[in-house]
A and B are shown apart, each in its own frame.
Chain A
């Protein structure tokens, strides 16, 4: 018994920092935000109350749900595009590169994180503007200039800038961890390359692939920078609606309602994704 108690104390010591951290910086602020969503704003001052006005306003406001659908759709599209584009690259890095070359590639994938995301987004403005780099490039082939800036496409480009290196990194790590003898066995049993990917590699790396996609979705769903500076806020995403609510009329409680809805959405999707990742076959 004494030994078991010692083990418990030992475990608690290691668990404590995580629990304290999560409580202080996640649970408490989340709880406060939820409480604030019931407050009222009078003369630009928040007044503690227990009123459902903000929830009623936001839940029955068509603008809010249109923005919700747009944000969800754009994040889902980015997740699908990023996952699909990253997979062939991750495959090559995991199976065709030597260990040393893969280490270099992973190092290069981390480099974008050295520079500010905002700076990278501003750089995209120069590329995507009507008189920018992209149009100049198309001009060399005799094509008309195009302006991608201030469009949903530009927003997705921004989201990809944020999440693509991470997706590629996570996919590479999960593919590289697959036991190579499984691939050899598949080939010995007559699987072609294509079938090996779908019947062996993807199921074997399922957890990593889903986690990569989940991170991409979470980052895109909550991002403010790309839809604002590349998408021109037209139409606004939920994160832009949060900023608009706090700027105009100081409606922090309404912003809290949007934030709670966003968090509930992300928690549901994360839960579903993890369930899918660890679901047993058959």
Chain B
């Protein structure tokens, strides 16, 4: 085609482009119809779960578009639901310890266990995860987990030192100990250090001792950080040791070559567990179920384990198998290899991991108020 034909089109050109325009115009209703049938699924989750690296495949295959609303912490999640009309969120990702509260408040629907691969869980106990069942009815499906222990800079803290929470009190890291700013994992770790086998179910005496031990750490602490601050603190070396986190943050940094690592110390570590539920009142229950099934499928499990925002463990055997095939390096780095010394399942079976829970003998407010007191000390 030359410039002349564009400037001064012939009758043939007019017919040709006219026909093309008509064809495009005629096809528009079909395009429009296809677009209109896209289901918009409202997701309430921790940051990252609605990002393309996790959900793009599902979106494409099922003509779904996710509209994620992210929260930071279980309290924040419960408040967001409480302040929204029923049916606002189709799928809800919750920390396992908050599922019971979601259920009691009537925010989530009952699920059919037969829809999900319960027989394929890596650890039998997860089939009956605490709080996910009520009166024999299922309300939430565990999708991933991770372990919280000691995260440290490998150039200033040795692996041997990091094998105990005692390293938080090491004089050389004074002012370089950081906290992820949430009371539950931090106080749970100190409770473990004090020798409480069930760190969140402790008597008032044990609670007083936990407070005392925590306060003794205050002079070592350089700061209290959110996700971004924790990330930066470890990356720029300002924080040499971090409490309350694990591979979910250092894993991302390690991928970038930072000299950081996370370990479960000898006193034990804490497991964060994330589970999917279907919001009560959803208009898209079928698609929501399909999405949870996808996340429990081997492909979904691999996406979840390798999530760009923060990695986690696959919880099904098929998921782990596919992870080892697709990304053996990541599987090895995180111990998700059958028989590995740091296999998370082995750590759980050895009794070194405790599930993160809300305090059993004190109120959440009591723990929370102490955390404020500690920060201000």
Contact = CB atoms under 8 A, between A and B. Distances in A.
A249 B368 contact: yes
Interface in A189-241: 228-229, 231-236, 241
Interface in B217-239: 221-225, 229, 232-233, 236-238
Contacts of B82: 43-45, 250
Interface residues of A, number: 30
Contact of B232 (A44, A125, A248, A250): A125
B221 A234 contact: yes
B225 A233 contact: yes
Contacts of B372: 63, 236, 241, 244
A106 interface: no
Given A43-B105, A249-B75, A232 B225 contact: yes
Contacts of A249: 75, 364-365, 368
A147 B238 contact: yes
A104 to B, nearest CB: 36
Q: Which of B73, B222, B372 has the most CB of A within 10 A?
A: B372
Nearest to B76: A247
B266 to A, nearest CB: 28
Nearest to A67: B376
Nearest to B367: A248
Contacts of A43: 82, 101, 105
B350 interface: no
B267 interface: no
B377 interface: yes
B376 A232 contact: no
Q: Which of B78, B364, B375, B377 has the most CB of A within 10 A?
A: B375
Contacts of B223: 150, 231-234
Contacts of A233: 181, 223-225, 375
Contact of A247 (B75, B175, B364, B365): B75
A132 B364 contact: no
A181 to B, nearest CB: 54
A130 B375 CA distance: 23
B25 to A, nearest CB: 45
B373 interface: yes
A149 B221 contact: no
B238 A63 contact: no
Given A43-B105, A234-B221, A250 B375 contact: no
Contacts of B114: none
Given A131-B237, A249-B365, A249-B368, A235 B376 contact: yes
A180 interface: no
Contacts of B236: 125-126, 129-132
A120 interface: no
B28 interface: no
Interface in A132-147: 132, 147
Given A248-B368, A249-B75, A234 B237 contact: no
Contacts of B73: 247-248
A66 interface: yes
B179 to A, nearest CB: 9
B183 interface: yes
Interface in B351-377: 364-365, 368, 371-373, 375-377
A62 B369 CA distance: 11
Interface of B: 72-73, 75-76, 78-79, 82-83, 101, 105, 175, 178, 181, 183, 221-225, 229, 232-233, 236-238, 364-365, 368, 371-373, 375-377
12 contacts: A43-B82, A43-B105, A66-B376, A131-B236, A132-B236, A150-B233, A150-B238, A232-B229, A234-B223, A241-B372, A250-B75, A250-B79
7 residue pairs, one from A and one from B, having the closest CB atoms = A232-B223, A250-B79, A150-B223, A233-B224, A44-B78, A63-B376, A129-B236
